[in-house]
Every structure is written in C-alpha cells, then in structure tokens.
Amino acid sequence: MKAYLILEDGSKFEGKLFGAVKDTIGEVVFNTGMTGYQEVLTDPSYAGQIVVMTYPLIGNYGINGEDFESYKPHVKGFIVREACMEPSNWRSDKTLHEYLKENDIVGLEGIDTRTLTKILREKGTMVGVITTDQNISQDKVDELFKKFSMRDVVLEVTAKEPYKIEGSGPRVAVLDYGIKQNILRMLKQRGCDITVFPATSGFHEIASINPDGILLSNGPGDPKVLIEGIEVIKKLIDLKKPIFGICLGHQLLSLAFGGDTYKLKYGHRGCNHPVKDYRLDRVFITSQNHGYAVNQDSIRDKGLEITHINVNDGTVEGMRHRSLPVMSVQYHPEASPGPMDSSYLFDQFMELIERQRG
C-alpha cells in the first residue's frame, strides 16, 4: 500500500506502508545507528517521535524476545530505506513488519532516507504526518500539525505505581521518566535494592525509603515542562545523597541547580557518537538519544564542572558537582555501542554511595 510522509516545510515523500495500516503524526528525527533498531523502537525516550533510520537496510536480524528496553514500542512511526522481510538470525522470533503490526506502529519504506535526513539536518527537527490519503488537503495537514504536542510524553511512559527490584546491596531510588530496562539491569548487577518511582512522585514519598543513592532516568521531551519534577529534585539534592542523572535526568539536574537547557537543531540519536571524558582523558563511542542539551555557560557558577564533552559539536555530555556527590551524563552508559563502553559510570555511582555510607 502506498503511503506518504508530509513534513511541516511542505516536503513530501512517497513510500510503501508496512507494519500497521493507519495514519500517524509525530516529531520526525533520524538515528545514525547501523544496528539496534529493536532497542530504538522500545526506548521510551522516542515517545511521540517518528524515527528515520539512516542505515539503508533495517530488519535483517529480525526481532527477538530479549533485547527490549521496555514492555512495548513507543515510537509513533518508523521510516527505513528498505525493510528486510526475511531476517537471518538464530535469535529471531519474528520480522520487523510482524512486530510493528502487532503493536499498531506504522512503518514506511522505500523513500530516500538520505534526502530526508539532509532536510532535517539543514532545517532542523520538524513534525511530520504519515498518511495513506494521497489527496489529503493542506488544511487538514495544518490542522494535524497544530494539534500535535510533545508536552506530556513523560506521563505516557513513566511507571504508573512504584515497584521494587529486590537486592542485598545499597537502596537506590530510581525516578522513572521513561527508563530503559538496561539501566535497571546495570543497577541489579551491582546488587542494588531498587525502588522505581513514577515521574509524578513527591519528595516525601521518595525520601521515605531513606535511599543510599538516587538515579534520575532518561526520558522523552523537553525537560523544562517538568516543573514539579524539578522542584522535587531540588529537595532531593538537599538530602546530600549520591545522585546520578542520565540523559533527561542530566538535563533536569542542571535545571534544578539553576542552569538552563536548549533544543538542539536536530539532536543526537545513534550509537556512534564520540564523547571525551576529561577526567580519564579518553574518548568513548557512545549511544545517544536526545533533542535537548545543557547550556554550558549556565552551569559554570552553579558549583558544577563539565566532565564530558561531545567531540562532534562541543555540547555538554556530563557534569559533576564540586562539593556534593552528584554526577550526570547526557548519553546512555548502559548501552554497549563500541569497544570502549561506559558502564564504568555505574561503578563511579556505586563508589559515591559506598563513600557516603562510610
């Protein structure tokens, strides 16, 4: 079945539908990873977005039952140059088409993803509509664009109630803004006794478990809309307990300290982004998925030092407080994109906790 992608700037692409047969609307972004499409689909940070994969062949190793980052896919749509319908991998349980169809996610293939990516790089991220109606009017498209909002996407993906993951080690309170499962796996591997709290949780509810450490998770959207959450983080900072922020959690920490964030033109999404760790004097290949960044100048007088920087564009990728046990990174240390992975940051978090516990 033919389908069409229409962008805010009027650009129109014709392709072939796979997955679910319906119309959809979302913020169109691109991901530069050659692999990891299953993790992309199930990463809650992509809520509200139509993801364009820049690698030309997607789906060649199918979908398996182990590599999910959450209980379902969260993208609004998935665009590829070519969707492989006959995957070859011993772990494969189903095709990409079958997975998208059973989860009611629209797929679009056969368009020039290179041209689409160039448009997004030059003009920036924009809203797009995927439709099967080749005669859809511009008025109807404009009406859809006006109604679309990314404001409440964190509420769509956060846990509905607190839950526990038992462990014999330090108590860690995790604030779930759209957490990836591998973050919880990393904490569990280190023996942590984990309590996961919804993004709407209040300070007293979180503090009631007397945590040894606090983790602020990744998640979708603009950090500035989480006004109440920022106020909760301010109070958590006053506890002087170790805090580790990841991605959205990193941005929220900067706002809680009085810093500022801004929207990137087209964001960082993929598993091949070089980041320099100033403390180790080494560059790591990292997995990233964010459309906002911390303003470097806004945190310099807030007691924070920059610990990581993006080699490609110089944006802030990590920070640490000079006197409090607080650290954060913009990228995903729980991922494994290259030969020099970043799980050591979880070890640093554990060291902060052990030092604090005495």
Catalytic residue positions, numbered:
247, 332, 334
- CA 344/CA 282 separation, integer angstroms: 13
Structure tokens at 271: 């598993």
Which residue bears the tokens 């569990």?
Answer: 188
Yes or no: say if 199 and 175 are a contact pair by the CB < 8 Å rule: yes
Cite the beta strand spans of 32-155 per DSSP E. Answer: 49-53, 57-58, 77-80, 82-83, 106-109, 126-131
- CA 248/CA 291 separation, integer angstroms: 10
Q: Coil, strand or helix: which one is 175?
A: strand
* CA-wise closest residue to 244 among 171, 189, 319, 354: 319
Report the interhelical angle of 227-238 vs 248-256 (nearest 10°). Answer: 70
- CA 185/CA 212 separation, integer angstroms: 18
Dihedral angle sign, alpha carbons of residues 95, 159, 177, 167: negative
Cβ-based burial of 160 (10 A; exposed 0-12, middle 13-18, buried ≥19): exposed
- CA 115/CA 339 separation, integer angstroms: 31
